[in-house]
Amino acid sequence: MLACTLLVPFGLTNAVTYVLSVAAIIITGVVLIQGYRDTAAIHAKLDEIIVSLKETRNDVVGLEHEDPDRIKTKVDQLEAEANAAATTADRRGLSRG
């Protein structure tokens, strides 16, 4: 970076801009690849938990590879089921008290 700054007075502004742009693109690519690795590892761990629990449905394993419409549909379905379960649990809690 310091070397690029020193080249500006010599009329190499375009070269400096090019070098800094390429450096920014490379750094962004590295960050995105690392983020992908982290996300893939988290998905693998969650899939393992889902498969290992006998009460869970395995149809959500690998959902991240589906098209966005299918994911949205499944998320909406799971949220509706969670809300229904919470409502049922609240009713049971209120009837006991």
In tens, the pLDDT along 24-79 reads: 999 998 888 777 777 888 888 887 787 778 777 777 888 888 888 888 898 888 88
Q: Which two structure tokens, joined as six digits, stand for 71?
A: 């994911």
Q: How far is CA 89 from the centre of its chain?
A: 31
For residue 94, how many C-alpha atoms fall within 13 Å in the half-sphere facing its CB? 6
Q: At a CB cut-off of 8 Å and minimum separation 6, what does 19 contact? A: 4
In tens, the pLDDT along 74-89 reads: 888 888 888 888 888 7
Q: What are the sequence ranges of the domains in the chain?
A: 1-58, 66-97
Whether the model pTM is above 0.85: no
User: Hey, how many other C-beta atoms are within 10 angstroms of the C-beta on 12?
Assistant: 14
> CA 58, CA 68: separation in Å to the nearest integer?
19
